[in-house]
Amino acid sequence: RRPPRSTPLYSSAASDVYKRQDLTVEAGDSLKFNASSLSVPSTCGSVTLNLKHGGKMPKTVMGHNWVLSKTADVGAIASDGIKAYTTSGRTIVVKENDGRVIAHTTLIGGGETTSITFSLDGLSASESYTFFCSFPGHAGLMRGAFTII
């Protein structure tokens, strides 16, 4: 016979489950994320995105990052990222203080990982969002839908 529980199996803390959502996206030595879509509940307050580069190439050759924006802004952000990359000594792939960028990680190369935690405040389930890699030439293939459900 089991002793009685001192705390209920389900408590009010269960409602805190979605206050933060952890997501992991992986990339390697190709132009591909392992996810083509990500979704988070509207009850979630913040998201921690973990990016892993499972390849071997350095970031100056096959670097990856993860950028989130409204879908309509992807092309312009990627284009500005190319300019930032060429003027920064090949280390930055997002224009500094770009208000169109909701969140982004740093650029990483083979074997590296990085994370970013961002708030969902101001984001809407009715808006179209896209995540992508802004390394020059990657945004066309390395992208996916980010949905708030």
Query: What does the alpha-carbon distance between residue 147 and residue 42 come to, in Å, rounded to a whole number?
Result: 9
Residue 89: what pLDDT?
Answer: 80
What DSSP string runs through 34-65? S-SEEEE-TT--EEEEEEEE-S-S-HHHH-B-
Residue 18: what pLDDT?
Answer: 56
- For the chain, the distance separating the N- and C-terminal CA atoms, rounded to the nearest angstrom, is 43
Distances (CA, A) of 47 to 12, 81, 82, 105, 128: 21, 23, 26, 13, 17
Query: What does the alpha-carbon distance between residue 133 and residue 26 come to, in Å, rounded to a whole number?
Result: 11
Dihedral (CA of 117, 123, 129, 135) sign? negative
**Per-residue model confidence as pLDDT tens for the chain (149 residues):** 444 433 333 333 444 455 889 999 999 999 999 999 999 999 999 999 999 999 999 999 999 999 999 999 999 999 999 988 888 888 889 999 999 999 999 999 999 999 999 999 999 999 999 999 999 999 999 999 999 99
Residue/partner pairs of 88-96 with CB below 8 Å, 24 or more apart: 90/60, 91/59, 93/63, 93/65, 93/134, 93/135, 93/136, 94/65, 94/67, 94/134
**Three-state DSSP state, 93:** coil
